[in-house]
Structure 1
């Protein structure tokens, strides 16, 4: 076969009986041009990516790829986490990074870099991206090199990270949720932020099919667990903030931060108290207010569950107060929570 940018091979007949031809790329230049067509013009949604496979930061979206023989891709052996870039600051990066490494340890993945190096890479990536409002998502994979069930023969784990451009708004309108019929993850996997999000996605899709915004998982004991990718919290009829225990679900960084900040409202007399515990479905549906808590929200009011209103069916006043409390921390919190991005 003569060398050329690309050629075609005859494949089985298409459904309409016509011959379907598959393009074969014999050179990387033609393939790169094809990939670049996917993101025409600017701005690009992914302004920068880091790959330990490449050993550096990529600014061309077409090159932001993961090898097909990566264990995270073909076996689901990987963990991830996300930090927020807000107004040029990384919010709670250290907290998310610590959870990231706990997840990696539970998944038996050894990082190719120490925590300080991972932190430095992520800060440099954010700076190189030029993004001032977006998310910084990063992964640890067991490694690449084969399609086997064990990473035993792989030389090293792999670290990837990408900046996703996009701003954030306070979610002040209430949403509707349903009880999910999709089985939730067992505590071993639910408490580890791993890349297996098929149950989460099916739960979200189920809610959308029912014309709801999201769903709520119930554990085997009949207690409320979590949402597809968020924690759940309540305001009781007595004015107490209740977050659900983290023994069977992921310990959300925003939920943990809310637990640190909410006592201020107790001191001011707005809240009666703050606690972590179990909540039955009956107790939850009978609460005065209900909300999701997550990094990109940071709080989303829930006004209806399974077709029945929560409280009076309107966004709760205390929910909004808690939202403002977390939002203020995100935009003007202490240096321990906010790292300035050193843009070039």
Structure 2
């Protein structure tokens, strides 16, 4: 009996030691918590997020300490949300309308209704960018099933939620080639792959797998052996016959930049630099015989790929046609027509 009692005392003392080793702080008020958050952000030399919008708050937030979303938001604990991104360059929003249209198509597939009409969403994004005073970076925006509970169904959520943030970020035209691998992480099924949703765990694991093998990122191949896409970018090939080929969008996300590339690339056909431009299925074997290969994405706009699974693409150097295509996209972003570039009224909405 005494032996049992001594064991209980020893267990109690051990448990007590664990608790005494680490004392969890309890915030007595919201003002104390906000003070702590301000202390954290005061150590940051440059604020990376100059503005956020939240329909939960009902306005634009300039204080980074309160750029948060509720923990019971279904986008947080169930992944029930969609998003999209537009580039901010030289005071213009590049392809805002194209991205916004895809955003709403994704929301429809995810069965999320917007709390605002399209025109209001667009106005919010432009106003927030203006107030942020950011002239170069990215604008990201999300639609969520909304906060309300921790159930699977969003039926109990009072309303959907719209969030957006301006990210102050410097980027430039990519001119150096990268190395990639074929991903062993299963790619998403067509329904989820063609919906730009927040469920990015396969994408994250795919990039981590590549980094562990000394590569920049990866390439997904579908279950029929055809080239699909990269973890958050499309991929394009230039054949030995100078044909530009992008994989079919049936099972992957139709990237806005990839679609714009298909619109601009015929200029090189007219100039005799390319033979043709098309969308087609490509096997891994066909793709690896390409003369040039590149990722296609918003902030790149093209990122040359010079090695795949330790095998050189073409001569293993950044190709001239890849850079010619990159120049077309970059020029379109910098000085394209009014349809592609939406001016931001910074002066009118300055705070």
Counterpart of 2:107 in structure 1 is 104
Counterpart of 2:67 in structure 1 is 64
Deviation for aligned residue 1:153 = 1.4
What is the aligned length? 332
Q: 1:280 aligns with which of 278, 283, 288?
A: 283
CA change 1:224–1:29 in 2 (3 A) is same
Within-5 A mapping of 1:295-314: 295-314=298-317
Look up the SS of the partner of 1:212 in the other structure. Answer: coil
Q: Deviations over 1:201-234 (max 9, x none)?
A: 0000000000000000000000010000000000
TM-score where L is the length of structure 1: 0.95
Counterpart of 1:20 in structure 2 is 22
Deviation for aligned residue 1:37 = 2.2
Paired with 1:162 and 1:14, the residues of 2 have a C-alpha distance of 44
Paired with 2:157 and 2:199, the residues of 1 have a C-alpha distance of 21
Paired with 1:105 and 1:172, the residues of 2 have a C-alpha distance of 37
Counterpart of 1:37 in structure 2 is 39
Counterpart of 1:289 in structure 2 is 292
Q: 1:122 aligns with which of 117, 121, 125?
A: 125
The question of whether the paired residues in 2 share the 8 Å contact of 1:136 and 1:161 is answered with yes
Is the helix fraction higher in 1 or 2?
Answer: 2
Ranges in structure 1 where 5+ consecutive residues have no aligned partner: 1-11
> Higher Cα Rg: structure 1 or 2?
2
Q: Deviations over 1:304-324 (max 9, x none)?
A: 000010000000010000000
Within-5 A mapping of 1:135-146: 135-146=138-149
Counterpart of 2:157 in structure 1 is 154
Q: 2:228 aligns with which of 218, 225, 230?
A: 225
Paired with 1:331 and 1:252, the residues of 2 have a C-alpha distance of 19
CA change 1:164–1:285 in 2 (3 A) is same
Counterpart of 2:321 in structure 1 is 318
Ranges in structure 2 where 5+ consecutive residues have no aligned partner: 1-14
Deviation for aligned residue 1:280 = 0.4
Paired with 2:250 and 2:229, the residues of 1 have a C-alpha distance of 12
Deviation for aligned residue 1:38 = 2.4
Look up the SS of the partner of 2:164 in the other structure. Answer: strand
Paired with 2:131 and 2:171, the residues of 1 have a C-alpha distance of 21
Paired with 1:207 and 1:39, the residues of 2 have a C-alpha distance of 32
Paired with 1:28 and 1:14, the residues of 2 have a C-alpha distance of 30
Look up the SS of the partner of 2:146 in the other structure. Answer: coil
TM-score where L is the length of structure 2: 0.93
Q: Deviations over 1:224-265 (max 9, x none)?
A: 100000000000000010011111000000000000000111
The question of whether the paired residues in 2 share the 8 Å contact of 1:13 and 1:20 is answered with no
Look up the SS of the partner of 1:148 in the other structure. Answer: coil
Paired with 2:97 and 2:37, the residues of 1 have a C-alpha distance of 34
Counterpart of 1:181 in structure 2 is 184
Counterpart of 1:55 in structure 2 is 58
